[in-house]
Amino acid sequence: MNQDKDKLAALSERLIPVDEAAELMKIKKGTLQNWLSQGSKFKRVKVGGRTFIDGLELEAWLRTALDGR
């Protein structure tokens, strides 16, 4: 039971609010919201009326952008 809680906590820590993600990406929040609406770039998770993206996906995207691929 405790392992399940730990797994859920680790998953929830990966969620980054859209406004913070946009700031990290150096883009406007509206641009990121457009990408999410179009179903491209990232998968979104909605919790309690707020939208989040996976921090691991964001990290991979940033690494690809920095590597120039």
Burial class of 3 by CB neighbour count within 10 A (0 to 12, 13 to 18, 19+): exposed
What digits encode the pLDDT tens for the residues 31-67?
Answer: 999 999 998 778 899 989 999 999 999 999 999 988 8
Closest-CA residue to 16 (of 53, 62, 56): 53
**Unique residue bearing structure tokens 């730990």:** 6
pLDDT bin (cut points 50, 70, 90) of residue 68 is confident
Task: With H, G, I as helix, E, B as strand and everything else as coil, classify residue 61.
Answer: helix
> Strand runs (DSSP E) across 1-69, as ranges?
15-17, 44-47, 50-54
